[in-house]
Amino acid sequence: MLLGDERAALCGVGRRLAETGLVTGSSGNASVRAGDLVAVTPGGMMLDRMEPADCPVLDVRGRPVEGGRAPSSETPMHLALYGATAASAVVHTHSTYGTVVATTMTELPPVHYNTLLLGGVVRVAPYATYGTPELAENVRAAMEGGRRAALLANHGGVAIGRDLGEAFENARLLEWLCGVYVRARMIGEPRVLTAGELAEAAERGVRPPEYGPSGPAD
């Protein structure tokens, strides 16, 4: 079986996404790239019930290579991110707080310096119908400048990483940051960190890991 380890890893991260509430039902998806091949979660299937053989393998142009199930409808977004970044994994969620922020804001205000671990202030990609080239392009643009995560207007969130574990942790951090902001708004007006304060935190080492010379700039 092609990309057997990668497809097994997709099943593992699918269970973690469901267990942590970052996805519900058959919503959300994930993928992992190995060279010119991409293994992706199948469309219309609950992520915590997948088996490795359920995850189709495509080439980087989206052409099917192996697997009997159709790939996730959001595959164009995954492929766009692989084409624009040095990421090896993508995780797309429909998490509660992320979707709340994505429905009400144009960016996630930097209320905590750990925003820097996602490459800077998290942008909200303009709304487009799910699974379309337009949405893929909007998300690609929102991730420019070395971002590791973005929100999708009225939809959810997406995170990338050097592997599935890192992409999952970035998705979980995105949801935590959104949760902090939403809860802070329940008490009062959150204090937002200034560009200078973020720069000072960056100087002290709060920054995402390097992808390497060919990766996106920080």
Catalytic residue among 6, 19, 66, 74: 74
Under DSSP, the state recorded for 42 is B
Angstrom distance (rounded) from CA 20 to CA 7: 20
DSSP string, 12-28: HHHHHHHHTTS--TT--
The Cα 7–Cα 32 span in angstroms is: 8
Distance of CA 93 to CAs 36, 59, 65, 187, Å?
A: 24, 23, 25, 27
- What's the CA gap between 218 and 199, in Å, rounded? 12
For residue 68, the SS3 value is coil
Catalytic: 74? yes
CA proximity to 75, closest of 49, 55, 102, 101 = 55
Q: What is the DSSP letter of 52?
A: G
Cα dist from 96 to 33, 106, 125, 188, 209, whole Å = 27, 17, 17, 20, 27
Residue 205 exposed, middle or buried by CB count within 10 Å (0-12, 13-18, 19+): exposed
Active-site residue numbers? 74
